[in-house]
With several copies, the nearest count.
Chain A
Amino acid sequence: MRYFTKQQGQKEAVPVDLEPLGNDLYKLTVNGQTYQVDALMLEHGTMTMLVDGQSYSVEFEENGDEVGVLLRGQVSRFDVADERRLRLRAGSAAFSVEGKQLVTAPMPGKVVKVLVKVGDEVKEGQGLVVVEAMKMENELKSPKAGKVTELFAKEGTAVENNAKLVVVE
C-alpha cells in the first residue's frame, strides 16, 4: 500500500510503502530505506513505536487533512493520502502551494481589519486579514503570490478556529 506524505512547508509529497504484517508490525519503505516498525496505537491519539529497538512515544493531533506528529519534542505536520485519495484531490491541488490557497483563522478571535478586497493582486507574505485574540493582533499573510478570489472575513465579526477567511488563487 502506497501513501504520499506531504510535510507542511515542503512542496513535494514523499511516497511511503506500507505493508501491515499483523500484530501491530509494519514494513515501511521510504526514500529507499526499509524499516520494521512495531507501532501500537493507544487512546487519545498516542502511539508507542519501536523502530530497530529505538522507542518513540508519538502524539498525534488531527487538524483537518493534516496530522501533527509530536515525537521527542519535535512537531512535524503531514498530510497523508493513499493513491486513490490523491486522485480525488488532484483537482483541488491541496498538495501544493500552487493553485488555490485557502487562508483560515488559526484561532478563535475577532477580525479587526481586512487588508484586501476581491480581485486584488497580492504578493507572497503580504498581509490579508488581522485577527485579534487574547488582546494581541495577528496579521495573516498570503501563502503565495496571486489574486484574491474569495473573501469571507468581515471586519468586526467573531470567527471560530479554522474559519475560512480569504482564498488566494
Chain B
Amino acid sequence: MPKIRKVLVANRGEIAIRVMRTCKELGIATAAVYSEADRAALHVRTADQAFFVGPPPSRESYLVQQRIIDAAKQAGADAIHPGYGFLSENASFVRACEAAGITFIGPPASAMDAMGEKTRARANMIKAGVPVVPGTTEPIATLEEARVYAEKIGFPVMLKAAGGGGGKGMRKVERGGDFDSSWRAAKSEAMNAFGNDAVYIEKYLEKPHHVEIQVFADQYGNTIHLNERECSAQRRHQKVVEETPSPILTPEMRAKMGEVAVKAAKAVNYVGAGTVEFLVDVHRNFYFLEMNTRLQVEHPVTEWVTGLDLVAMQIRAAEGEKLALTHAPEPRGHSIEVRVYAEDPARNFMPSPGRITYLRVPGGPNVRDDSGVFPGYTVPNFYDPMISKLSVWAPTRAEAIARAQRALSEYVVKGITTNIRYLKAILAHPEFIAGDYDTSFLTREHETLLGKEDPKLTEMALLASAVHAYQRDQKRAKSLPTAAGPGGGNGGVSPWKLALRRR
C-alpha cells in the first residue's frame, strides 16, 4: 500500500488537533472539516486545508458521510482519520470510504460489525472464549436448572425479574444455602410486581472497576496489547480521570487481561488501535464489557508510559506497515489524565459554554495539554463540553498525583466555568490516593468532592475584591470628563449613575 500523503481529519476540537500534530510531524498534509459553528475553531487553523460541511448540528455536518467524503476528494486526501465519536465506529462509513478509494484509518468494517452491537459482541466474545459477565440473559425454567447455573457462575449472584427494570425485582444471593428460598421469593415478587414470574440470573459484581486494555494490530494478524488504563473515576458513564498502570493490577493480571484482550481483537480480525473494556470485581475477576473500535480519548496516558505515538502507529498500520513491536512494552512510570470540562460541578455539572476570555495552560516537566481552545474562542453549545485533556507523567503514582495537582493549580480558564477545582478534589481524595476506587466513587463522594471553603482564602479574596472595586471605580471616575478624579468628589453627574446607565 502506498504511503499516505494527505489525511482528512473527520472530526473537530482537541482530537482533530491531536491527529494533525502527528501528521505534521510525519510530513503528512492535513485537511479539516468544519460546521458553521466551527469556522473560528482551532482545528480549522491547524490544518493545511479546511472544508465546510454544513450547519452546527452534527447530524447535518460531521455525521453526513457524503459531505465528508466529498471534502476528502476535494482536498485530494488519500486517507481519512475519524478521531473518536462522530463517524469513528460507523461501519457503513468505512464501506463508503472503501468505495471512494480512500483509506479509512481504523479497523475494517467487519470488525466494527462484530463489535458494534452489545449482544452480538457478547455472543462473539463467548464464542472466542473471552469471559463476559456471566448471566443467562434468558429466563430459567426450573429451580434446579437455576441452582446449577448459579453454582457454575459462582456466588454472589443477582436474580432479576425479566419483566422488571429500574432496580425493581432484583435480589442478591450471597451463598448457595440461600439460593432456593431467594429464588422462590424473587419469582413471587416478580409475579406480584410485573404479573410475570420469569427470573434470570447474573453474576453480581462487587465494587467493579472499569479497566480497559489498549490493543493494536497490523494488517497481517500481528496483534499485541499495550497495557491497561484504569477508568473507574466516572460520572454517569462519563470518564473524568484515567490512569495507567491501574493501581489494582498485578503484573500477572495485566498479562492475563492483555492476553484475553488480544484474543478478543483477533477473534474479529481487528486492525489498528482498539480498546477492550473490562469490569473487574473485588475478587479481581474480569469480564468483557465492550470493545471500542477506535482511538480512545484517554490514549495519552498509554503514550506516556510506553513512549509510543498511537496516532502515528494507526497511520503506519493503515499504510500496511508491519507492527514493529512483538509484545507489550513494560509500563514505565505512571501517567494520569484529567478531563477539563466547561461545566459547573456545583450546579449538577451544568454545561458552561461561552467565550474563553483568558487562558493560561500549565507547563514545566512532564505535563501534556491536549486542547482545542484558545483565548477569545467561544465554546459552542452544540458539541461535547470537554475543553482539554491534561495528562502528566512521573516515575511513581504518588509523584504523578502531585504533578497533576501542580499542573491543575497552574490552569486558568476565564469566561466560562470549568471543573478544575473538582478535578483537584478527586486527586486529593483519600480513596483516590489509596488507589482502590470503583465506578461508584465519584457518585458516592459527590458532596465531599464539591469541597469546602477555606475561610482564610475567602478573607484574602474579600480583600482582593475590595481593591478590585476601588480600581474599577477609579477607572470609571477617570473615564468621565466631569469626574473629580481619585477619591471621588461630587460635582456633575454621579459616576455611579452613569456606570449604571451604561449597563
Q: Residues of A at under 8 Å CB distance from B? A: 1, 3, 5, 7, 14, 16, 18, 20, 24, 26, 28, 30-31, 35, 37, 39-51, 53-61, 64, 67, 69-76, 78, 80-82, 84-85, 88, 106-109, 133-134, 136, 138, 161
Q: Is the beta-carbon distance between B496 and A84 smaller than 8 angstroms?
A: yes
| Contact with B496, one of A20, A31, A85, A138 (Cβ below 8 angstroms) | A85
Q: Which residue of A lies closest to B458 (CB)?
A: A76
Q: Which residue of B lies closest to A139 (CB)?
A: B348
CA distance A3 to B49 in the complex (A): 27
From residue B339, how far is it (CB to closest CB) to chain A in Å?
Answer: 14
From residue A69, how far is it (CB to closest CB) to chain B in Å?
Answer: 4
From residue B498, how far is it (CB to closest CB) to chain A in Å?
Answer: 11
| Contact with B467, one of A7, A18, A43, A107 (Cβ below 8 angstroms) | A18
CA distance A59 to B417 in the complex (A): 13
The DSSP consensus for interface residues of chain A is strand
CA distance A44 to B360 in the complex (A): 11
Nearest 9 A-B pairs (CB), nearest first?
A43-B376, A57-B45, A80-B469, A134-B351, A78-B465, A69-B461, A76-B461, A55-B50, A16-B466
The residues of A that contact B461 with a CB separation of less than 8 Å are: 58, 69, 71, 74, 76, 78
Asked if B179 is at the interface of the complex by the 8 Å CB criterion, the answer is no
Q: Is the beta-carbon distance between A80 and B500 smaller than 8 angstroms?
A: no
Q: Is the beta-carbon distance between B353 and A134 smaller than 8 angstroms?
A: yes
12 A-B residue pairs with CB within 8 Å: A18-B466, A41-B471, A43-B376, A44-B376, A45-B358, A45-B414, A67-B468, A70-B414, A74-B421, A81-B469, A107-B381, A109-B353
| Contact with B352, one of A31, A78, A107 (Cβ below 8 angstroms) | A107
Q: Which residue of A lies closest to B50 (CB)?
A: A55
The DSSP consensus for interface residues of chain B is mixed
Q: Is the beta-carbon distance between B421 and A73 smaller than 8 angstroms?
A: yes
Q: How many A-B residue pairs have CB under 8 A?
A: 189
Asked if B159 is at the interface of the complex by the 8 Å CB criterion, the answer is no
Given the interface pairs A30-B459, A134-B382, A161-B354, the reply to whether A55 lies near B470 with Cβ below 8 Å is no
Given the interface pairs A55-B50, A72-B457, the reply to whether A30 lies near B421 with Cβ below 8 Å is no
Q: Which residue of A lies closest to B416 (CB)?
A: A107
Given the interface pairs A40-B40, A73-B424, the reply to whether A1 lies near B470 with Cβ below 8 Å is yes
Given the interface pairs A40-B39, A73-B421, A107-B350, the reply to whether A50 lies near B50 with Cβ below 8 Å is yes
Q: Is the beta-carbon distance between B74 and A53 smaller than 8 angstroms?
A: yes
Q: Which residue of A lies closest to B457 (CB)?
A: A74
Asked if B320 is at the interface of the complex by the 8 Å CB criterion, the answer is no
| Contact with B464, one of A56, A81, A106 (Cβ below 8 angstroms) | A56
CA distance A49 to B470 in the complex (A): 14
Q: Is the beta-carbon distance between B350 and A28 smaller than 8 angstroms?
A: no
The residues of B that contact A46 with a CB separation of less than 8 Å are: 358, 376
Given the interface pairs A40-B39, A76-B453, A138-B347, the reply to whether A54 lies near B48 with Cβ below 8 Å is yes
